[in-house]
Chains A and B, each alone.
Chain A
Amino acid sequence: MTDKPRVAVVTFPGSNDDHDAAWALGAVGADPVAAWHQDAELPAGTGGVVLPGGFSYGDYLRTGAIASVAPVMDAVRAFAAAGGPVLGICNGFQTLCEARLLPGVLRPNRQLEFVCEDVTVRVENADAPFLSRCSPGQELVIPVKHGEGAWYADQWTFVQLAARGQIVLRYADDVNGALGNVAGVVNQARNVMGLMPHPEHAVDPLLGSGDGGLLLAALVDTAAAFRATLAVA
């Protein structure tokens, strides 16, 4: 075991960015470990969890719906309840919303087309551990690739989330018809975050952008801090 913060990447049947996520986490200083959808527990020493992108369970029923009730999600729920940082990327975001660990839901893109492009997202609120390496108003270039990325919540929820600073990332332009151009949200405790763009595909300027690395590195920082609090306790 290394002394690098251990981040578990959960693989569901149909996840396809799990390996990229693990590679990117390794590139920003984590010790990435694999977790499986049927696991009842997260790997020993887990300090952070990533639910990766993909098409879990073939997107049956609704995107993320089947994954949200997979056995491993009980462990993820308990980990989040204990204050552990959990990041859901794309299908992982959809799964966290379906699991009601995050507010809202991801609906089919308004234009009914799969979008696959680099987009600019603005840091709306940096008051969450995942955004500790960003500043408010900062623009990040991170690719999206999704068919069901239009975040939606009812108006009252939306207003409350905005007031509490839980809307952390917004697209600079309308990408998919998301309410308020929302690209990423955090839970009220701010230790669970979901976003549609793929930070794991943007960790090296050589491949277009390194901006995603800021989010992943912040997750790694948080995973280290979370493990340290457990060690003290």
Chain B
Amino acid sequence: MKAVVMVRPKEGILDPQGDAVRHSLRKLGFEVSGTRVGRLIDLELTADDPADAEAQVERMCSELLANPLIESYEILLEDP
């Protein structure tokens, strides 16, 4: 089973990287009023059971993949 974890800077948390990207996009002539840069993690899991897989990924997120102080995350399970 595959899973995708999307990690984002939490709302309200300053994201200097996103700001830098926005400034560069503006320089190129694009009109962008907000840019946030996060991270995407593709996982290939050995678990077959979706509930089990989701529980595992949830734990991965809280133990390593995201820092809950500054990041939020979203888990997408992809059925094989």
Residues of chain A touching chain B, judged by Cβ–Cβ distance below 8 Å, are: 61-62, 65, 69, 98, 104-105, 107-112, 152-154, 177
Q: Are B70 and A152 in contact (CB under 8 A)?
A: yes
Interface size on B, residues (CB 8 A): 13
Knowing A112-B16, A112-B17, A177-B14 are in contact, say whether A107-B70 is a contact too (CB < 8 A).
yes
Give the contact stretch, choosing among B26-34, B45-53, B61-69, B72-80.
Answer: B61-69
Contacts of B63 in A (CB 8 A): 69
Cα–Cα distance between A54 and B13 once the two chains are bound (Å)? 25
Knowing A105-B70, A152-B70 are in contact, say whether A111-B65 is a contact too (CB < 8 A).
no
Residues of chain B touching chain A, judged by Cβ–Cβ distance below 8 Å, are: 13-14, 16-17, 19-20, 39, 63-65, 67, 69-70
Q: Are B64 and A61 in contact (CB under 8 A)?
A: yes
User: B14's contact among A61, A69, A98, A110, by CB below 8 Å, is which?
Assistant: A110
Contacts of B39 in A (CB 8 A): 61
Contacts of A98 in B (CB 8 A): 67
Q: Report B50 CB to chain A, min CB distance, Å.
A: 25
